[in-house]
Amino acid sequence: MSGQKTMTLVDYLASEAAREHATLMLQDPQARDFLVGRTWFTWLAPRPSDMWRALQIDTVRVYYRPDGERYTVTDLGEGVKALRLRTGCDVPHFYKIRGSLGPGIGYGDGGEISAAYGSEAPDLPDAICRVMLASLKVAQS
């Protein structure tokens, strides 16, 4: 046996490999499969709207758009929505867990999770992965 382990989506989103894959997706947004250890991760690039572009892995989707010289990166509240659909909990539960979402993560009154203060272009792949990870943590909490 090779000794390679399967990787969870949480571990993957925290990894350097996810940032490399996000960079590739930003350069050429088309559906792709990436093998990490023994686990395949499928990135999707849903059709952009007039305002937002999106990247998605499994059920975790983030949206990004230019905002001056920086980028806005957000889940538009999808993590909280998934949590509420799964558990029936109300928004105050989100306020209890939001402090554990990681550094540089902001949140709006409606439950949207975002990269605080916007992101510069070189930091966009990292911001995308951090927001995906935070959104996933909220959805699974």
Per-residue pLDDT reduced to its tens digit, 113-131 = 888 667 778 899 999 999 9
Say what the pLDDT of residue 69 is.
84
Supply the range of the domain harboring residue 41. Answer: 9-140
Distance CA 2, CA 104 (A): 37
Question: Phi/psi at 116 (nearest 5 deg)?
Answer: -60, 140
The pair of three-digit structure tokens given for residue 94, joined into one six-digit string: 């989100």
Residue 13: C-alpha distances to residues 47, 67, 82, 85, 92 (Å) = 22, 24, 18, 23, 26
With a cut of 70, say whether residue 101 has pLDDT above it.
no
Statement: the pTM of the whole predicted model exceeds 0.75 = yes
Cβ(95)–Cβ(44) below 8 Å: no
For residue 3, tell me if it sits in a domain: no
Looking at this protein, which amino acid is placed at residue 70? R
Is 25 a domain residue? yes
Domain count, the chain: 1
**Does residue 80 lie within any of the structural domains?**
yes
Please report whether residue 129 resides in a domain.
yes
- Residue 98, pLDDT > 70, answer no
Tokens of 136: 């996933």
Q: Is 2 part of a structural domain of the chain? A: no
